[in-house]
Amino acid sequence: MNNREKLVKKLIEEGYLKSPHIIEAMKKVKREFFMSKEYKKYAYIDQPFPIPPFTAQTISAPHTYAIIYEALELKENDKFLEIGTGSGYGAVLAKEIVKNGLVVSIEINKETFEFAKKNIEKAGYKDIILFNRDGKLGCPEYAPFDKICVTAAAKEIPHILIDQLKDNGKMIVPVGPEYATQKLVLIEKKKDKINKKTLTYVVYVPLI
């Protein structure tokens, strides 16, 4: 059993991973492809690590992706929007899960965007749609989406993104103050009614 398989086994035992298709994605995607060279040896430790431009951005801990994709019930053929590409790891995991579905990812920081783009290409994924721009506005040209994941903290739930969700769509967004503890909120849209549920507590960089 390699280190990646050991990590996945640990996440299953801890209750983070449940769905076979999400488990298979995490077994397949090599996290070291998405890490800066000085941290690659720690790829299968369940914690975040810095990524360029080495200010506050990180590749999130693996259990965070498990929490998010399980709660979203991300599945094959979904149209998925990620706000905050970061390292590119989350977008590639999502692509492995949705298969022939669509993955769109937006990153505002130019240096981080180029890092992610290079990582995604190195990992062999050519059909993930990437934008270097402000994610607060979402992606109207590909909307509506089945699932949306925001990987930066918003002071309040971005309604423009809710508008880009399909009926019965789900979105996850960290909500709270900058550089402090935030609520990771799951939003479900049903016939224009919005249901909210706090999943856990996190600390993300702000949604600029």
**Residue 193: CB atoms within 10 Å:** 8
pLDDT at residue 79 greater than cutoff 90: yes
Q: Output phi, psi for 187, to 5 deg.
A: -115, 130
pLDDT at residue 208 greater than cutoff 80: no
Buried b (16+ CB within 10 A) or exposed e, 173-189: bbbbeeeeebbbbbbbb
Determine whether 105 is an active site residue.
no
| Domains in the chain with CATH codes | 3-202 (3.40.50.150)
Write the pLDDT tens digit of every residue in 33-44: 999 999 999 999
* Active-site residue, from 19, 36, 60, 87: 60
Write the pLDDT tens digit of every residue in 44-76: 999 999 999 987 889 999 999 999 999 999 999
pLDDT at residue 207 greater than cutoff 80: no
